[in-house]
Amino acid sequence: MPPKDPKLRNITIKTGVVKRLAKEKTMYEKETAQQEAKIEKMKADGKDEYDIKKMIEVKGESAAMIMDCLNRLKKAHQELKTILDNDTDYAESEEYKAAQDVYSDASSVISA
């Protein structure tokens, strides 16, 4: 089997990065919502203030990770767009088509 074209390999790598970052952002958003629900339940149950403060701290860390993921996702998303715009001669390849799908999916994650 001949070695894979470096440009196709780069498309595959950038696609994987965008896909992973979009998934991470979604998971951090879900985790933050779960933490918020736990905090509200703890307050309603009259739990210890220290425990509630710690949960708020954990929620804050998750919220900070959302912004970090979003910034990294925007950068990777733009890099993937640049690659897709410049390497149109690979438009018929599976890697290119997969990259286009991931690019459009990530666009909705970024705008959410």
| pLDDT tens digits, 63-86 | 999 999 999 999 999 999 999 999
pLDDT in tens, 50-65: 999 999 999 999 999 9
Assess if residue 4 is contained within a domain.
no
| pLDDT value at residue 5 | 87
| pLDDT value at residue 1 | 46
pLDDT in tens, 28-39: 999 999 999 999
Range of the domain at 78: 23-111
Q: What angle do CA 34, 37, 41 make, to 5 degrees?
A: 140
Assess if residue 5 is contained within a domain.
no
Assess if residue 3 is contained within a domain.
no
Write down the number of H helices and E strands in the chain. 3, 0
| pLDDT value at residue 11 | 94
End-to-end CA distance of the chain: 42
| pLDDT value at residue 2 | 53
Are the C-beta atoms of 21 and 102 separated by less than 8 Å? Answer: no
Among residues 102, 82, 105, which one has the least CA distance to residue 94? Answer: 102
Structural domain count, the chain: 1
Within 10 Å of residue 112's Cβ, how many Cβ atoms?
10
Confidence bin at 3 (pLDDT 50/70/90): low
Burial of 16 (0-12, 13-18, 19+ CB in 10 A): middle
Which CATH number do you get for residue 55? 1.20.58.90
